[in-house]
Amino acid sequence: MKEVKTSMAGNVWKVQVTQGDQVTAGQEVVILESMKMEIPITAEEDGVVEELKVEEGSFVNEDDVLMTLK
């Protein structure tokens, strides 16, 4: 199973995909807000969004899984 993880701690500001969406490697899928800055998180591989693990407003720590892809 493929996962999209966050590179740093912060608040999930925007989730830009929904379950079932096709994503490609390098595509911005989540925007995190950390220390007053927007941090785009990109998918590292192609896939279809299987499950979103966070929602807008969630707090995440470094390496938390944001979503799984299949």
Residue from 1, 18, 20, 37 binding another protein (CB under 8 A): 37
CB nearer to another protein: pick between 10 and 47? 10
Binding test (CB under 8 A) with another protein, winner from 8, 27, 65, 68: 8
* 11 forms part of the interface with another protein (CB under 8 A): yes
Based on CB atoms, which residue is closest to another protein, 1 or 37?
37
Signed CA dihedral, 43, 44, 49, 51: sign only: negative
Does position 35 bind another protein by CB under 8 A?
A: yes
